[in-house]
Amino acid sequence: MLTRYLSAAMHRAVYEKLDDDGSFCGEIPGFPGVLANAPTLEGCRDQLEEVLEEWLLFRISRNLPLPKIDDLEIRIRAVA
């Protein structure tokens, strides 16, 4: 489930080549703060995926809600 969720989120990513230095900036709409910048598009994708993973782990550790992507939803349940 987590792999599918990460993959679906990465498919929503948008990238832009910056005019000033030619580097690439990427973000995932609906995932505030998940941003990356790298000299190459491939590097930007790799960095964005790493940031996304860290963002998800942080939110899970704090029991914060996660965005629903298509039919994929990760919910944190309390354990007795």
pLDDT digits (tens, 9 = 90+) for 29-53: 999 999 999 999 999 999 999 999 9
Query: Which is nearest to 56 in space by CA: 38, 80, 74, 79?
Result: 74
> Residue 42, class by beta-carbon neighbours within 10 Å (0-12 exposed, 13-18 middle, 19+ buried)?
exposed
Which tokens go with 4?
Answer: 């599918």
What beta strand segments (E) does 10-65 contain?
14-17, 24-27, 35-38
Choice among 5-14, 47-56, 70-79 with the minimum mean pLDDT: 70-79
Q: What's residue 30's pLDDT?
A: 95
CATH 3.30.160.250 fits 2-61, yes or no: yes
pLDDT at 73: 86
What pLDDT was estimated at residue 74? Answer: 83
Give me the mean pLDDT over the 66-78 stretch.
84
